[in-house]
Chains A and B, each alone.
Chain A
Amino acid sequence: MSSYSVTEPSARQKWFAGTLVVLYAVITILPLLWIIGTGFKSPSDAIAYPPKTFFEPTLEGYVNLFTTRTRVTEEQLKEMGEPKTWYERLVRKDGLIIAGPSRFPERFYNSVIIGFGSTVLCIVLGTAAAYAFSRFKVPLKDDLLFFILSTRMMPPIAVAIPIFLMFRSLGLNDTHAGMILLYTAVNLSLSVWLLKGFIDEIPIEYEEAALIDGYTRFQAFYKVVLPQAATGIASTAIFCLIFAWNEYAFAVLLTSGTAQTAPPFIPTIIGVGGQDWPAVAAGATLFLVPVMVFTILLRKHLLRGITFGAVRK
């Protein structure tokens, strides 16, 4: 069953295109593989010249990421006897002992709380608003929708000044609640626009049928629209989560201690004499890999999410 089509590229064209794309993909993925690789290098391997592609993997970077260490003298080290755990043994090699846990787990936890908190809020508010915009005659609908979108055009630093003042007077500076509210507001435009697109695609007849069967509007929304929109809601949620997860400008300006998220924290991990690159890379790996996994899961909806639903494919 061989049919000739004029629009089908020839085998040679395909081979040529494939080679170039694969070449680009390999170059583009190299920095990411380098991050993951550096996390498993020893500090001396990390700064070796020429850069080492093959090395003896060690968990030193991860141990340094999760702990703080202090230097002790030879005698003190001897007095303490044999190290009890594998990570202590790793640290003792350099004449150090573990002084306590690092701040990284807290920062990571803050990222999780603020990320998920704002995503949930964003989806609840966004779904309701999107449903109303999609199904009802809302006065000034186009203006409101444009208003929601235009909030995205502002440079974060431009609104950061009054938000900083406002949060300070409300006691919301450097708190989870404040950051959750802020990220919800930032991502709300995305969630309303995306969800409106998804709900628009659900035939209105389903709800009308449900209304005739005696459902109220709320029931129809709950039992007919929400299940139909589940895929759209899930992918919108992942987008909100990724954007909140990656956000840096507000985080660095409005949080410093209790609510600081991981992005402002990871670059500040320092070791002896400058940045401790294996530890930074280890932190970056733990922070970035979940997003990579989500991106692969999302690939079918990616375009829609990053263009606010402007391009749907």
Chain B
Amino acid sequence: MLHSSIDRAAHATPPVLTRRIRGLSDRAIAWIFVAPSIVLLLAINIFPLIWTVRLSFTNFRVNRPNEAVQFVGLRNYLNILSDKDIWLTMQATAHFLIWTIVLQVLIGFALAYLINKKFRGNDLWTTIIVLPMMLSPAVVGNFWTFLYQPQIGLFNYAVGFLTGADPSSFSMIGDTTLAPWAIIIVDTWMWTPFVMLICLAGLRSIPSSIYEAAECDRASSWRQFWTITIPMVLPFLMLAILFRGIENFKMFDLVVQLTGGGPGSITELTSINLKREAFEKWRTGYASAYAVILFVTVFGLASIYVKALNKVKQR
């Protein structure tokens, strides 16, 4: 024990002496250290949020600064909730959210399970698989429109090569039935490694002694998988779903670059729709109410989910 003498000295010293006050008290230092961060967050996160809430009750428009701002009560909120188009974007978002999570969980878990077999070079391949996740979604998304081009695009060529279909016969981002899948494919390509990494951490946290005990009890490997592996990884998996859920609910950059919400408004997710209302139609008050609704939705869903997650953890 290298530090044992220091430790002993530290423990032997009365706490009063340890907290020897020279200059500032601990309490003052704590505040000096925390305050700048809190001030910055208040100025750039909370103040704007309060402002958004206030604007949401008005008919303010940024592009008409001279017009009198009127207080309209809950009218913006009622308009949004009764707007059919907004429910369509909510549906598009739900479709995107559900399928990306399903695919990423299935592929991510499968990959983690395979990597955990500890074949030679698994570290190297894991690092390669992780690369897309760290890159700029806007820049990569933009390049995917090139890969998705009919005929000359690599994606269409590969699909044609594998299925025998004519690569110029379909357009992933121009077709109303294919476009929702075009964004799901790219998001899955980018973010599967995220789920994979978390699952891998979960798999590696399972002590091998549990499997050894199961082996002694002659449990089949199928049974071991369902009664040991899955329940032990579940809390990790749920955490991964939480992160992906929040991120994809906010999804903007990747999809804006890929489809821009099109064709029509088939892939217009809520963030893209919101951007259109706020920065193209300049209906600031209306868009603020929209933003508040989205924020409350994410926050509410996330809180419920975290409660469920904690229950699973406790079991």
Q: B278 to A160, Cβ gap below 8 A? A: yes
Contact at B139–A288, with CB atoms within 8 Å? yes
Partner of A132, one of B9, B34, B194, B278: B34
Q: Is the CB of B253 within 8 A of A248?
A: yes
| A51:B114 contact, CB within 8 angstroms | no
Give the total number of A-B pairs whose CB atoms are below 8 A apart. 313
Q: How large is the interface on B (under 10, 10 to 19, 20 to 34, 35 or more residues)?
A: 35 or more
Give the CA-CA distance A20 to B111 in the complex, in Å.
8
Residue A311 CB within 8 A of the other chain: yes
Q: Is the CB of B48 within 8 A of A181?
A: no
Q: Does B212 contact A (CB under 8 A)?
A: yes
Q: Which residues of B contact A138 (CB under 8 A)?
A: 30, 34
CB < 8 Å neighbour of B154 from A5, A51, A163: A51
Q: Which residue of A lies closest to B52 (CB)?
A: A162
Docked-complex contact B18 and A267, CB < 8 angstroms = no
Q: Are A51 and B295 in contact (CB under 8 A)?
A: no
Residues of A within 8 A of B33 (CB): 128-129, 131-132
Contacts of B111 in A (CB 8 A): 21, 24
**Among A35, A157, A275, A288: residue with most chain B CB under 10 A:** A157
Are B62 and A7 closer than 8 Å at their CB atoms? no
Residue A185 at the chain B interface, CB threshold 8 Å: yes
Among the 9-residue stretches A26-34, A56-64, A68-76, A83-91, the one with 4 or more Cβ atoms under 8 Å from chain B is A26-34
Q: Which B residues are CB-close (under 8 A) to A32?
A: 131-132, 135
* B201/A303 in contact, CB under 8 A: yes
Q: Can you name the residue of chain A whose Cβ is closest to the Cβ of B24?
A: A217
Spot the interface stretch: B67-75, B80-88, B122-130. Answer: B122-130
A177 within 8 A of B: no
Residues of A within 8 Å of B275, CB to CB, are: 157, 160, 253
List A128-168 residues whose CB lies under 8 Å from chain B: 128-129, 131-133, 136-138, 144, 147-148, 150-166
Beta-carbon contact of A182 and B114 below 8 Å: no
Contact (Cβ within 8 A) B147 A34: yes
22 intermolecular pairs with C-beta atoms under 8 Å apart = A18-B121, A25-B128, A28-B128, A29-B128, A31-B189, A50-B157, A147-B41, A156-B250, A157-B252, A160-B278, A165-B62, A205-B6, A211-B20, A242-B134, A245-B136, A253-B279, A266-B139, A266-B142, A267-B139, A295-B134, A299-B127, A307-B198
Known: A17-B114, A155-B252. 10 other contacts (CB 8 A): A9-B118, A17-B117, A31-B140, A47-B152, A136-B29, A150-B299, A155-B271, A212-B13, A253-B279, A303-B197
